[in-house]
Amino acid sequence: MAIKGKRGIDLFRLLRQCHDVDLVGIACPDGDINWLTDEERKKYYITADLDKLMALPELNTIINATGEPSVTEYFKKNNTDGVEIEDLTGPSILNSVLKTREQLLETRLVKGELLAILNSVQDAIEVVDAHGIVKYVNPAFTRVTGIPESKRVNRSIFDVSPQGALAQSLIQQKPVTGYRTYVGGSDADVISNASPIIVDGELMGAVVVFQPVGDILKLMDELQHSNAMIDNLYAQIDQISGSRFSFESLTGKSNILASTIERARKAARSESAVLISGESGTGKSLFAQAIHNNSSRRKKPILAIDCSIVPDSLQEIEIFGCEKGAMPGIVRTRIGKIELAGGSTLFVKEINSLNPYLQKKILEVLDEGVFCRIGGDEPMPIDVRIVASASDNLFNASLQGYFSEGLYRKLSQVTVNLPPLRKRTEDIPLLAEALIERLNRKLGKKVNVISPLAMQELIEYDWPGNISELKSIIERAMVVAEGPVIEYHHLSPYIGRLGIQETPTFDEIIPLDKMEEKMLKLAMTRYGETLEGKKKAAQALNISLATLYNKLKKYSD
């Protein structure tokens, strides 16, 4: 072989790898042999003289890889022994050889990557050629069956496992799925999925992937156990949430209540988000439950979150959940209320207290039907209906920038405005009767009537706390009532003219802390011990709810 330059050297290296080519000598007309390795120098005859190359014994072919046509002409002119002359100086021949080499290297790389993948797969894999000869099994095959690779490869699948999915797929030339059988040569009971390998319309072989039946049954048991736990959780949530209220269980006969219930019934029949507005204590939670229980989602319990009592720092975790390790102290993935309410209804109470960032996330749920846990990379689809409530005027809050305008527009498409108790006074006797019946069981009392004077006082009172305040006052009156009748004096400390007379006078100078204590007691008497009552008391005293709790604790010690 005559060699000169990089192309000639590359061709020499390629020909060295060909098992059917026996190189015996090299001629380097330019005298440059520095590129040769020590091994090559020992193995081949090396010269700079073309005549000496041609004189080598038993030579049948001379290859010109110098890139010079004159060398080929020289060989042909002085070829007296009939040696075949091959000219590999053409660039097309060289490029073709080099391209073939690159393709071979790429094929080896892909094959290596494929084997690495197959060897790491935990499912058992077995591959046969078109004649059914086993060509490959992965390590999982040996783990599942106990059959070593050496006992399987190069065996006919028709001999070792003729009834298996792999043999059936090869015979039928179509996929065989969910096939349960014992692996030939072992006692492994497996579920198999096999498929033929067809390239350009020609059957090249088949492949099977299988798992032990025991593993699948274990997964099914775990799934059934998880589903049972979920069903049990739903049942517990249903009990805790008390979502048994329906429109029929709402008490009252006034026209304004009937109109409100009819609007809520229409809202229940849709799948849209619903906004329930009204003053504190008007029964927004009861209407939310009634809407859910009259909707297509009533088979699952309604879930609720009160944004007014959940701190800003915890609202996102409570509603959207958190991935394990995404926040300090989160050692396992926490599922949020919105995910637990999938296929059901989430009641977002006092949504006006939701922080602005989460308002945008709720809007995304309503618009796109997706959400993300804290630390989650990809949005997850969710089918949930949002029913929200607000005591404040959300329209004004959105105009002033305190509430998301987009979220308000979405929620306000279906609204239910609850009337205050002072606008449905004809319902007070019915409400009082229902409350007395319920509280008798709670308090162990036998109260059955309210005196006419006491009832008149209830009807004439302004009810800033609405039905919640009515319940609180009747309960207080029942505690002090000794007989079956609630009298006027049982109510007077809490409402009406006598209640107003308890406002402290300022004829005498008293210590400020005593005055503060008196004002706290008056506020709690006026608004009640409920959360809504305490909020109103704090507002009337011009202090925060946290400060109110601190002061109540101070004076109770």
Query: What confidence score (pLDDT) does residue 501 get?
Result: 39
Tally DSSP H helices, then E strands, for the chain.
24, 19
Over residues 348-354, mean pLDDT? 92
Do 242-419 and 422-500 come out as alike in CATH topology? Answer: no
**Banded pLDDT at 270 (limits 50, 70, 90):** very high
Q: Among 60-64, 278-282, 407-411, 453-457, which stretch is predicted with the lowest mean pLDDT?
A: 60-64
**Banded pLDDT at 249 (limits 50, 70, 90):** confident
CATH class label, 422-500: mainly alpha
Q: Which two tokens stand for residue 64?
A: 């010109």
- Rounded percentage of the chain residues whose pLDDT exceeds 90: 38
| CATH number listed for the domain at residues 121-215 | 3.30.450.20
Q: Among 263-277, 278-292, 475-489, 491-505, which stretch is predicted with the lowest mean pLDDT?
A: 491-505
CA–CA dist 476, 492 (Å, integer): 11
Indicate whether 17 pLDDT > 80.
no
The secondary structure of residue 93, as a DSSP letter, is H
Angle at which helices 466-480 and 531-541 cross, to 10°: 100
3-state secondary structure at position 417: strand
Query: What confidence score (pLDDT) does residue 60 get?
Result: 83
Q: Which two tokens stand for residue 362?
A: 């709720």
3: phi then psi, degrees, rounded to nearest 5: -130, 140
Query: What confidence score (pLDDT) does residue 498 get?
Result: 37
Task: Select the more confidently predicted residue: 387 or 121.
Answer: 387
**Banded pLDDT at 205 (limits 50, 70, 90):** very high
- Rounded percentage of the chain residues whose pLDDT exceeds 70: 87
**Banded pLDDT at 230 (limits 50, 70, 90):** low
Query: What confidence score (pLDDT) does residue 503 get?
Result: 46
**Banded pLDDT at 500 (limits 50, 70, 90):** very low
Closest CA to 373 of 432, 443, 324: 324
Q: Where are the domains of the chain?
A: 2-89, 121-215, 242-419, 422-500, 512-556
Q: What is the dihedral of CA 95, 101, 104, 105, to 10 degrees?
A: -120
Which tens digits make up the pLDDT trace of 303-327?
999 998 888 889 999 999 999 888 8
CATH class label, 242-419: alpha beta
Over residues 26-46, mean pLDDT? 88
**Banded pLDDT at 499 (limits 50, 70, 90):** very low
Q: Which two tokens stand for residue 403?
A: 């509430």
Closest CA to 523 of 464, 458, 455: 464
Indicate whether 123 pLDDT > 50.
yes
pTM for this entry: 0.52
Which tens digits make up the pLDDT trace of 133-176?
999 999 989 988 999 999 999 999 999 999 899 999 999 999 99
Q: Among 41-45, 92-96, 216-220, which stretch is predicted with the lowest mean pLDDT?
A: 92-96
Helix (H) or strand (E) holding 203: strand 202-212
